[in-house]
Structure 1
């Protein structure tokens, strides 16, 4: 019995040795309302196809892990209620109980690796939450990057996090953090931060070569490609920092903790920026998907 089911489009791409890009599904179920969520999901998939690769949106539907969703399944997921948010800890439980769940960065990496997909495009990774020295709230995304050999293209870590500590944890765990075409580590909604990216690469082929070399060396884990949001779409850090600070203060005052922190902060930031944060988020996800497709194409070429 197979652990997963490929969509017809992804199955054809696999059979032909064509480049495939994995996509998470929490952006659909937990990121925005219907029908905007499914419209954005389809646009991101179209961006990948336009670059010459095949998109594989990953989710668990009634206990089955799907690598790639049909149009009907995408609509079904986009309109589903009470969808579980799956990471490494609860992916197997959701499947064993026959439930429906959307995959986070960590769970998407696991599923992509199972299916032999090398590249994953997302918005931003999770990381070390502010105050983690007291709460120990650290995303499973970081440990997943340290053990699962998938190259993840993101606009850095979500700017609501403690970015310096997030970079320290990634360094400790041997995860290459590659700034794409700049030395500054991007700050999600903003193209630059005051932090340096540990590494820099300027082309998809260089990133693809590093991915393949890690495999040849037998090194565990993947790569994080920190791809800055296009300047035309960004919200500058001097605008975002006070907004994030206000939202974080409100979360603390309300006693919000654990998995509830990120959804609250993102929702409050959306309100405080009058929707600009979501517009920027969509732009950076699409930008990451396009770069992920270019890297996937180069990996396929190198493996021939």
Structure 2
């Protein structure tokens, strides 16, 4: 198998996407964020497992030099979902993994926890366009727990949750009774399960293991209050961004990056700062769960 795992022995690992570093932020802000992530993980007693496709290999865990080179390449890297991996590996392109590809690699490497900003989901008007992220499919079939601030605000959160319920993916709120809306800490969508500490979250994941259930788990962690954007403001910006995307005839894979770039401009950078803050918070929570989970397996 074309996978190379380079992780320290005996330290719980947290899987990390590389699309955030390559396509979410420019150089050197992306590398600065990567270093902050590494610092948080070290503080919590965990190790970073950045996933990327390099020289025909799925890499799980990068050296500092490799991480810096990846960040320097930035958007030159191909954005890789799970379905894209065979082509990118065969052509030896540099690949930045999305949630679905990162989950696949994490499972192969025996990593149970994965931190990201927000998952993909059902797009608005998805009932007509059938634009549904592969992240949801991967959550249904890959036993990795994903810590995120819900799904991206630009999506149809209600239908995203319905899809996850249909395919048997548990969604657990961390200190919240409603599903977070990425930049917005709360949404109208109630969650059936709330857990307030990392130790119990780890125990739930362990029970999922013992039952042999095939799916992953979504742990929904709201954005820190200091960086949250009011729901009304966010919805106004999103509606404007969607109208602009339609006017510019943006479709397919180009929709999400277009909308996020539009929100960055209209918010005068607030959405990017919010994104960085919630990622760091999710990394810290994932590290704490990973450490508790490791202690349960000893």
TM-score normalised to structure 1 length: 0.95
Q: Could you tell me which residue of structure 2 aligns to residue 179 of structure 1?
A: 173
**Once the 2 structures are TM-superposed, how far is the Cα of residue 112 of structure 1 from its aligned partner?**
0.4
Q: 5 Å matches for 1:67-146?
A: 67-80=60-73, 81-146=75-140
The equivalent residue for 1:218 is 212
1:295 matches 2:284 = no
- Equivalent residues, number: 297
| Distance across 2 between alignment mates of 1:100 and 1:62 | 7
Distance 2:104 2:156 in 1: 25
Q: How far, CA to CA, are the matches of 1:73 and 1:210 in structure 2?
A: 35
Which of 264, 278, 281 is the aligned partner of 2:275?
Answer: 281
Which position in structure 2 is the counterpart of 1:149?
Answer: 143
Task: Between 199-208 and 287-296, report the one with greater CA deviation.
Answer: 199-208
User: Could you tell me how far apart the structure 2 residues matched to 1:182 and 1:24 are?
Assistant: 24
Query: Partners in 1 of 2:54 and 2:217 — Cα distance?
Result: 28
Q: Distance in 2 between matches of 1:3 and 1:209?
A: 32
Flag structure 2 segments of 5+ consecutive residues without an equivalent: none
Q: How does 1:27-38 map to 2 (within 5 A)?
A: 27-38=20-31
Segments of structure 1 that go 5 or more residues without pairing to the other structure are: none
Alignment correspondent of 1:49: 42
Task: State the distance in 1 between where 2:77 and 2:211 align.
Answer: 39
CA distance in 1, matches of 2:2, 2:198: 31
1:122-179 per-position Cα deviation (integer Å, ceiling 9, x unaligned) = 0000000011122110000001001000000000000000000000000001100011
| Larger deviation, residues 250-259 vs 81-90 | 81-90
Structure 1 residue 188 displacement after superposition: 0.3
- Looking at structure 2, the residues matched to 3 and 129 of structure 1 have their Cα atoms a distance apart, in angstroms, of 33
Contact 1:211 / 1:222 at 8 angstroms: preserved in 2? no
Contact 2:158–2:189, Cα closer than 8 Å, also in 1:
yes
The DSSP-based 3-state class of the residue aligned with 1:90 is helix
Q: Note the C-alpha offset of 1:238.
A: 1.6
Q: Does 1:251 align with 2:250?
A: no
Please provide the CA RMSD for this pair. 1.0
Structure 1's consecutive aligned runs of 4 or more residues displaced over 2 angstroms after TM superposition are none
TM-score with structure 2 length normalisation?
0.97
